[in-house]
Amino acid sequence: MSLLFAVAMVLQSCNNTKDQRNGKDDRPNIIFIMSDDHAANAISCYGNSVNKTPNIDRLADEGMRFDQSFCTNAICAPSRAVVLTGKYSHLNGVVDNTQKFDGSQETFPKILRDNDYQTAMIGKWHLKSAPTGFDYWNILRGQGNYYNPGFIEMGENKKYEGYVTDIITQLTLDWLDERDTTRPFCLMMHHKAPHRTWMPDIDHINDFDSTDIPVPFNYFDDYKNRSTAAKAQKMSVWKDMYLGYDLKLTTGFDSTQVVNDLSTRAFDRMTPQQRRAWDSAYRNKNNDFYRKNPEGKALARWKFRRYQEDYLGTIQSVDESVGAVLNYLDKHGLSENTIVVYTSDQGFFLGEHGWFDKRFMYEESLKIPLLVRYPREVKKGSVSNDMVLNLDFAPTFLDFAGISVPGEMQGKSFKDILAGKTPGDWRDAIYYHYYEYPCEHFVKRHYGIRTHDFKLIHYYYDIDEWELFDLKNDPHEMKNVYNDPAYSEKVIQLKKQLKELRKEYRDDGADQFLPGKAFETIGHIAVGKPVSLEYPFSRKYPGGGNNALTDGRMASKELTKTKDLGVWQGFEENDMIATIDLQHNTDIKSISAGFLQDIDSWIFSPVWVEFAVSDDNKTFTVLKKINRETAEDLSGKERVVFMTDCENVRARYVRVHAKNIGHCPAWHKGAGGKAWLFADEIIVR
């Protein structure tokens, strides 16, 4: 390449990025504010809320509000991966919350950074791998805590005292202060709020005490004519919420009336001062509950109310956070040239159908709030009814920065829509796919299509059922008309369109994400040998019976990834004391036993495991007693194996005693409840 040509190329690429007149980089800044589980129905500019969000509303007043904005997979980590990559879950690899994001793939922050943008990520990340593509990052550990949360700042553990939303806001403003003002920036401020368990900041705990909060008309939905999926979920406000853990009935006038199941892990984090303030903010309303002692439907209504008071309470701080950022921009003359986006990783049920949580392709969780302010190009107070997706953020930001969008990104830039010029070929249907099942809340796997007027959903894996909703006539999705002959043409047409979308997005191999095999076949000397038990299996999880512990089938480590939970042998409250008869004296080199740990499902790995052998099944020699490691990550799901090597051991009987923790510990949401021990398999070599 000649020198002249090289110089010309450099100049040309600068043309794209720098304002020629003053040599200043004039590309817009981007502030991407995303909260967690914030339903549009809890933002006042969306018109349906009981709360007021004046600061978030400012973005609608001064920019554009999207009324048809959706996510492609309504669950946290997958949604974040879609935002970063502009690719559907099956291509970016994060189909559910259990997967780790592969940070080596292309993301929009990386591309912006390569193009001289400063990039920062502050707040909830939840993708398991360390952030890539950011000059600065400071992320919450895991899901994050509301009080005195732990963070990871550029790989280093940090703990800040205070309330999570305020801390994230302050870190954001600090970063803005310290940035290089000669270059544009892209800043992600991601709040934890209003995620479960909805712990408001102290001064917002009582904000909604005297607000009228109407119970949704379909709160007592019976799911008639809906799919089995709608009936089988476990996300009912009135059936599945814990009184202490979720609804804060942890402080009342005397200790007998206190529900003691709010994770003390959340409470242990509080300073004594915070704890006192928290208790005094809840005490009166909790006493009122104990005085009235509601039951039946009254209790169900009380639960809804308390859920909403707390949920909306956390949003008060999110709104203040948005206000603080907007004020900062005003004060520093940045408002004109900064694109500010407010959205959420997905929607949320606020009691509609009786539910909390998300996951379903129903409107409340599918829909994301989306407000965009950019005074240079977006008309004040505009509203769009074009269908946009969280898949579109990456291409849109790159478009605004004047960078061409990589072909592998599946979203489309909605820059023109923001300018009030919807492209003629803009999409008229969206595609959705949810995978996380079986798992907490038990929402079955499904995918579907939504057009402006209809929604067709296919539930698969352990069922094969369809739902069709006529959104114009049934906006709340109360009547599945899939089997109504009047809609048979519509079904055919939508199925065809759905098939085309699946093809276009290359989502035709969903099988690869189905749960794996329930067990692995393994050979060892105890295979087929009889087992006797001191305490029997619990009838609830009897697995395959005694001999399944030595049947050469080792249960998969991913309980949630198998259809057949029965491969594990379950002991409720009791220890497992299993004796294997090898039939005759045998040389033994090692003994191991596998257990499941899935603390969210009340399954704890044993406190200790003792291995012993005997010649006569009367006198046993203890070979080894192993205590559980204490530093485990308590939220994970894993197969925990206890093992002993044996030297010069020859015996006929092998006994494995695994100590059940007995009851869920005080910090657990099931505190005091019977704990489970899941075992399989005992391997003797």
Residues forming the site for ligand SGN (CB under 6 A): 36, 75-76, 97, 143, 195-197, 357, 440-441
Helix (H, G, I), strand (E, B) or coil at 129: coil
Q: Which of 541, 611, 608, 616 is nearest to 575 (CA)?
A: 608
478 to each of 5, 69, 221, 474, 481, how far by Cα in Å?
Answer: 65, 21, 8, 7, 10
Measured from the CB atom, the residue of 397 and 437 that comes closer to ligand SGN is: 437
548 binds, among Ca ion, ligand SGN, none (CB under 5 to 8 A by kind): Ca ion
317 binds, among ligand SGN, Ca ion, none (CB under 5 to 8 A by kind): none
Compute the distance between CA of residue 579 and CA of residue 576 in angstroms, rounded to an integer.
10
Measured from the CB atom, the residue of 274 and 546 that comes closer to Ca ion is: 546
As measured in angstroms, the least distance from the Cβ of 260 to Ca ion is 37
Question: 118 - beta bridge partners?
Answer: 185
553 binds, among Ca ion, ligand SGN, none (CB under 5 to 8 A by kind): Ca ion
As measured in angstroms, the least distance from the Cβ of 356 to ligand SGN is 8
**551, 575, 598, 610: residue in contact with Ca ion (rule CB under 5 A):** 551
97 binds, among Ca ion, ligand SGN, none (CB under 5 to 8 A by kind): ligand SGN
Residue type, 208: F
Measured from the CB atom, the residue of 352 and 551 that comes closer to Ca ion is: 551
Compute the distance between CA of residue 430 and CA of residue 448 in angstroms, rounded to an integer.
8
Q: Please name the residue that has the structure tokens 């919807």.
A: 422
As measured in angstroms, the least distance from the Cβ of 354 to ligand SGN is 15
Cβ neighbour number for residue 336 with a 10 Å cutoff: 11
Does the bond joining 197 to the residue before it have cis omega, within 30 degrees of 0? yes
As measured in angstroms, the least distance from the Cβ of 551 to Ca ion is 5
Measured from the CB atom, the residue of 440 and 573 that comes closer to ligand SGN is: 440
As measured in angstroms, the least distance from the Cβ of 667 to ligand SGN is 12
Measured from the CB atom, the residue of 240 and 551 that comes closer to Ca ion is: 551
21 to each of 18, 26, 117, how far by Cα in Å?
Answer: 9, 10, 20
**Apex 440 CA angle, 438 and 446, nearest 5:** 45
Q: Which of 68, 659, 570 is nearest to 363 (CA)?
A: 68
* Residues 146 and 164 sit within 8 Å (Cβ to Cβ): yes
610 binds, among Ca ion, ligand SGN, none (CB under 5 to 8 A by kind): none
Q: Please name the residue that has the structure tokens 């995303």.
A: 34
Compute the distance between CA of residue 441 and CA of residue 235 in angstroms, rounded to an integer.
5
449 binds, among ligand SGN, Ca ion, none (CB under 5 to 8 A by kind): none
As measured in angstroms, the least distance from the Cβ of 346 to ligand SGN is 8
As measured in angstroms, the least distance from the Cβ of 192 to Ca ion is 40
76 binds, among ligand SGN, Ca ion, none (CB under 5 to 8 A by kind): ligand SGN
681 binds, among Ca ion, ligand SGN, none (CB under 5 to 8 A by kind): Ca ion
As measured in angstroms, the least distance from the Cβ of 552 to Ca ion is 7
As measured in angstroms, the least distance from the Cβ of 158 to ligand SGN is 21
Binding track, positions 493-532, relative to Ca ion; x by CB under 5 A: ----------------------------------------
Q: Alpha helix locations (H) across 224-341?
A: 228-232, 237-240, 264-268, 272-292, 296-331
Point out the residue whose Cβ comes nearest to ligand SGN. Answer: 76
Measured from the CB atom, the residue of 360 and 571 that comes closer to ligand SGN is: 360
Residue type, 119: T
As measured in angstroms, the least distance from the Cβ of 564 to Ca ion is 11
Cβ neighbour number for residue 474 with a 10 Å cutoff: 14
Compute the distance between CA of residue 337 and CA of residue 339 in angstroms, rounded to an integer.
7
Residue type, 54: P
680 binds, among Ca ion, ligand SGN, none (CB under 5 to 8 A by kind): Ca ion
Rg (CA), the chain: 28
Q: Is 138 exposed, middle or buried (0-12, 13-18, 19+ CB in 10 A)?
A: buried
As measured in angstroms, the least distance from the Cβ of 537 to Ca ion is 12
**CB proximity list for 235: less than 8 A, separation 6 or greater:** 349, 355, 356, 357, 359, 441, 443
Cβ neighbour number for residue 400 with a 10 Å cutoff: 22
Q: Is 199 exposed, middle or buried (0-12, 13-18, 19+ CB in 10 A)?
A: buried
Measured from the CB atom, the residue of 524 and 652 that comes closer to Ca ion is: 524
As measured in angstroms, the least distance from the Cβ of 82 to ligand SGN is 13
Instruction: Give the DSSP per-residue string, 566-635.
Output: GGSEEEESSPEEEEEEEEEEEEEEEEEEEEEEEGGGTB---SEEEEEEESSSSS-EEEEEEEPPS---TT
> How many residues in the chain?
685
Number of chain positions touching Ca ion (CB under 5 A): 5
197 binds, among ligand SGN, Ca ion, none (CB under 5 to 8 A by kind): ligand SGN
As measured in angstroms, the least distance from the Cβ of 385 to ligand SGN is 28
Measured from the CB atom, the residue of 470 and 681 that comes closer to Ca ion is: 681
**33, 322, 548, 582: residue in contact with Ca ion (rule CB under 5 A):** 548
The dihedrals phi and psi of 42, each to the nearest 5 degrees, come to -115, 30
Q: Judged by CB under 5 A, does residue 681 bind Ca ion?
A: yes
Measured from the CB atom, the residue of 470 and 680 that comes closer to Ca ion is: 680
Measured from the CB atom, the residue of 80 and 553 that comes closer to Ca ion is: 553
Which of the stretches 251-259, 441-449, 542-550, 634-642 binds Ca ion when contact is defined by CB under 5 A? 542-550
Binding track, positions 552-571, relative to Ca ion; x by CB under 5 A: -x------------------
Measured from the CB atom, the residue of 346 and 396 that comes closer to ligand SGN is: 346
DSSP character at residue 99: S
Point out the residue whose Cβ comes nearest to Ca ion. Answer: 681
* Pairing relationship of beta strands 576-598 and 531-533 according to DSSP bridges: antiparallel
As measured in angstroms, the least distance from the Cβ of 195 to Ca ion is 38
Measured from the CB atom, the residue of 195 and 446 that comes closer to ligand SGN is: 195
Site for Ca ion in 619-678 (CB under 5 A): none
Compute the distance between CA of residue 221 and CA of residue 103 in angstroms, rounded to an integer.
42
320 binds, among ligand SGN, Ca ion, none (CB under 5 to 8 A by kind): none
Measured from the CB atom, the residue of 441 and 655 that comes closer to ligand SGN is: 441
Measured from the CB atom, the residue of 369 and 594 that comes closer to ligand SGN is: 369
Give me the residues that bind Ca ion (CB under 5 A), please: 548, 551, 553, 680-681
